[in-house]
Amino acid sequence: MSAVLEFETTNGKYQRVSVIIHWLTVLLMVAIYASIEIHQELQRGTTLRRLTEDWHIYLGLTLIPIVIYRALVILRSPIPPIIPAQANWERLAVKLMKAYLYVLMLGMPLLGWLFLSAEGHAVSWFGIPLPAIAPESDGLAEAAEELHEVLGQSGYVFITLHALAGLYHHYIRKDNTLKRMTL
């Protein structure tokens, strides 16, 4: 087990596997948000509208195993330090932000799956049927859909902050924060 979860850091950077998964996650998140934004612009009843929702769901569900694997790797492998070191409050802010991003990346797909199950819709991953994860319930469906919407909107703010922080560290602080996340 440790061979697929524990990796050494080299050149002060994140493990290759963590770097690849990080940028793959970025691509997936962009595609997940783009598909739902396009979906909402399209006229009801069109094939393209249905297709963009299907892809939103497929890509969102793809994120679940990827994020779980990434979280396990990060928990089991050393994190390369930021040089020069950050102040304690900055370290705390980074930890909180990362925790929030994990809640978003894992919570959003689960909430989507949950509210569709509670609405009685069949959920599939690229055509492979998945089980319902909640009993049919109007109240539960409504609450989970509302949370999916609010958390989803908050994602725009926090993902932007996360990206801006990376650029700030690289171009203004000129530390190795962003370089650690390159191959």
Binding residues (CB under 6 A) for ligand HEM: these are 32-33, 36, 40, 53, 56-57, 60-61, 63, 105, 108-109, 112-113, 116, 123, 148-149, 152-153, 155
Question: Of 120, 112, 156, which Cα lies nearest the Cα of 137?
Answer: 120
Q: Which amino acid is at 95?
A: K
Those residues whose C-beta lies under 8 Å from the C-beta of residue 151, and which sit 6 or more positions away, are 103, 104, 107, 108, 111
Report angle CA 17, 21, 23 to the nearest 5 degrees. Answer: 125
- Work out how close the CB of 56 gets to ligand HEM at its nearest, in angstroms, rounded to a whole number: 6
Complex with ligand HEM: residue 130 or 181, whichever CB lies closer: 130
- Work out how close the CB of 110 gets to ligand HEM at its nearest, in angstroms, rounded to a whole number: 8
Position of minimal CB gap to ligand HEM: 112
Q: To the nearest 10°, report the CA torsion of 28, 33, 36, 37.
A: -140
Per the structure block, which two tokens stand in for 138?
A: 């109007």
- Residue 90's φ and ψ, nearest 5 degrees, are -70, -40
Complex with ligand HEM: residue 19 or 26, whichever CB lies closer: 26
Complex with ligand HEM: residue 73 or 159, whichever CB lies closer: 159
- Work out how close the CB of 25 gets to ligand HEM at its nearest, in angstroms, rounded to a whole number: 9
Q: Do the beta carbons of residue 64 and residue 110 sit within 8 Å? A: yes
Complex with ligand HEM: residue 40 or 46, whichever CB lies closer: 40
Complex with ligand HEM: residue 35 or 177, whichever CB lies closer: 35
- Work out how close the CB of 37 gets to ligand HEM at its nearest, in angstroms, rounded to a whole number: 8
- Work out how close the CB of 60 gets to ligand HEM at its nearest, in angstroms, rounded to a whole number: 3
Q: What is the largest CA-CA distance in the chain?
A: 55
